[in-house]
Each structure stands twice: as structure tokens, then as C-alpha cells.
Amino acid sequence: MKYTNIKSLSVAFIMTFCAFTTFGQKLKLKNQEFELRNVTGSIIKFQGKKILKIERDLNAIPFDVTHIEATVDEPHYARLVGLDDFENGIIEVKMYSQLQNPAPYPGIAGFIGIFFRVQKDDSAFESIYLRPKVGRVNNQMFRNHAVQYFSYPYAKFETLRKNYPAGSYEGSAPVALNEWIKMRIEVNGETAEMFINDMKYSSFIIDKMLGKNKKGYVGLYVDIGTIGYFKDLKITKRALKVKQDGEKVKDI
């Protein structure tokens, strides 16, 4: 029993140390600076423009195929420096998702998206991300998993599927690998809407987000098997808007 405890503590220490060593590297893209948190990254020229490229660092947070939910949807992302109080408003970014080759896991789907209301220590945040690989497949059930919301740490994807009606926190969107996708998220109190590629109507609505943290940082996210490219991040903060029956939305 003593040996098991020592071994567990050693593993925990190694993971903590690795995670710590991946924090702190900062990259500047135009007038924005990003801190890499459990991802590797660089500023590169891609299709003629400078962009941010990131990939999940599996040394910092190892992936375990036998415990998938416990080792995905973790704080592996690029944090926008200088904005730590995003609460309500609009987050826009252009994203391009490629699959790593060889694939580190057969179930990779190009996981890419946005974190918001991130606590300083990464202990809690909200997220909406895409699985572009299934966005246009000829199978409606798979398409219905193209968009995912989760709330870290207590409501990740598998927990949501088990405990809420189907489709409550997942949906479809016309996205695909190897092409630029413009994602716009409008956050308002406990709700959020996601728009794709300047479409007039949202593709995905979250009626009630589950996190208790109400403000924080914004970040750009990738998960296992994804090479993610990002550009043109724009954030607009605004006041909470309320809507009463029969009335238009009002600022407060």
C-alpha cells in the first residue's frame, strides 16, 4: 500500500512539473500576445499570412485511451494575454483544423474551438468547440456531434451525454477539415449562441451554461490529434442583455 501511494504521488508530481514547464512561452501575432498553456506552438506563415499554430502537448497532459473523458477537454490552449475579465459579448476567430499524421488516437476529429471565462489558474472555464471531421459526413447522428459545449471541470463531453437529453449540449454545423472556419460566439449571461461563416442564423444555442465562474480569460483550444491554425481573433465586451416576455432584448 505504501508503494502504491508513493507511486501515485510520483506520477502526480511529474504531471504537475511537466504542465508547469509548458506555461510561460508567449507568442505575438500582430498586436495580440498569447501564452501557451499545455500546447506547443509557433507563429508561421500559412497560405500567405502569419497565423498562430498550436498542437496539444501530450507530455504536459498525457492522453489515456482507457480514460478518455478524464484526459481530454483539459486546459490545453493558447491564452490571450491582457484580457482577464471577459463576461458577456462576442468572440470571433478564424480557425483551420488539420489531423496529425500519424494519428495518435483513431477517434481524432479535428477538435478545435474557444475557451472563455477562464479562471487565472485554469481551474474552471466554459468552451465551445468543433469536430470538423464529422460536420459534413453522410450520417445525421455523426453530424449531430460536430459542435460541443462543455464546462470544465465537472461537465465534460461524456458527463453531458450521460446526464442530459441528447442534443442538449451538442449539435451540427456545416464545417470540415482543411478549410477556414469563422466561428462567432455571442455570450450573454447563462446563454451562448454560435454562428459559423457569417451565417445569418446561429448553428448552435446553449440555453443554460453550467459553469459557476462568470468572467475570465479567453483562449484558443485544440485537443488530441489536431493541428490548429488561428487568425483574426476579435473580442467585443458588452453589457448583459435581458429579455422579458413580449419585449426586445435590452442592455442593463
Which string of DSSP letters, residue by residue, matches the chain? -HHHHHHHHHHHHHHHHHHHHTS--EEEETTEEEEEESEEEEEEEETTEEEEEEEE-TTTS---TTSHHHHSSSS-EEEETT---B-SEEEEEEEEEEE-SS-SSTT----EEEEEEE-TTSS-EEEEEE-GGGTT-S-HHHHTTSEEEEEETTB-HHHHHHHS-TTSSEE--S--TTSEEEEEEEEETTEEEEEETT-SS-SEEESS---S---BEEEEEE-TTEEEEEEEEEEEE---EE--TTS--EE-
Give the DSSP per-residue string, 196-244.
ETT-SS-SEEESS---S---BEEEEEE-TTEEEEEEEEEEEE---EE--
**pLDDT value, residue 22:** 56
Range of the domain at 14: 2-251
Q: Is the pLDDT reported for residue 160 higher than 80?
A: yes
Q: Model pTM?
A: 0.87
Between CA 97 and CA 42 the distance in angstroms is 15
Task: Please give the mean pLDDT across all residues of the chain.
Answer: 90
Question: Amino acid identity of 249?
Answer: V
Give yes or no for a contact between 7 and 21, defined as CB atoms under 8 angstroms apart. no
CATH code at position 178: 2.60.120.560
Q: Is the pLDDT reported for residue 21 higher than 50?
A: no
**pLDDT value, residue 16:** 41
Q: Which residue has the higher pLDDT, 43 or 17?
A: 43
Nearest one of 144, 172, 170, 140 to 73, comparing CA atoms:
170
C-alpha cell at 174: 456545416
**pLDDT value, residue 7:** 32
The total number of structural domains that make up the chain: 1
Between CA 146 and CA 83 the distance in angstroms is 29
Q: Is the pLDDT reported for residue 58 higher than 80?
A: yes
C-alpha cell at 151: 464546462
What is the length of the chain?
A: 252
**pLDDT value, residue 5:** 40
Distances in Å between the Cα of 99 and the Cα atoms of 42, 59, 174 are: 17, 18, 18
| % of the chain beyond a pLDDT of 90 | 86
Range in 2-6, 59-63, 97-101, 193-197 with the lowest mean pLDDT: 2-6
